[in-house]
Amino acid sequence: MLFIYILFGFFLGLNILFYSYVKINKSKFLFIPPIIVFLLAILFTGYGLWFTSNGWEGMTYGIISFGILLSSIIGTALVPVLFRYNIDSLGKRIKRYTMIVLGVCFIVCFLFVWFPESLYSADSYCTHYIA
């Protein structure tokens, strides 16, 4: 179940990374999108440390921020690759489909966080409790 929270943070970070890359590409400051995502990971960790009532509740925010940090690291590695391709040369359809796919992945992870029992079938519950 822990991987769902990491994927949730990963897709949240990728959404913010791609959106900020599209918006900042015109100014050619391509180092800024990974920094924005890295600062988001720090904010999630800070919120988990200071604004939750005890440490166990804050660990979830730390796990989500780990996924955001992974997307920041991958985004930093992909900046030289993305720099070769001009984002304006990509069609609107490719940009739109990328945003839709990232958004759908984020929403699916969000639904798995809210409804974790949908990951398991009824058979696994029965065999677990019978044995």
Nearest-Å Rg of the Cα atoms of the chain is 18
**129 is written with which tokens?**
């409790």
100, with CB counted inside 10 A (0-12, 13-18, 19+), is exposed
* Contact between residue 109 and residue 101 where contact means Cβ atoms under 8 Å apart: no
**125 is written with which tokens?**
């519950």
Query: Confidence class of residue 69 from pLDDT cuts 50, 70 and 90?
Result: very high
pTM: predicted TM-score of the whole model, two decimal places: 0.73
User: Is residue 77 over pLDDT 80?
Assistant: yes
79-106 confidence digits (pLDDT tens): 777 666 665 566 677 777 877 888 888 7
- What is the rounded CA–CA span in Å between residue 64 and residue 80? 26
Q: How many helices (H) and strands (E) does the chain have?
A: 5, 0
User: Is residue 40 over pLDDT 70?
Assistant: yes
Query: Confidence class of residue 42 from pLDDT cuts 50, 70 and 90?
Result: very high
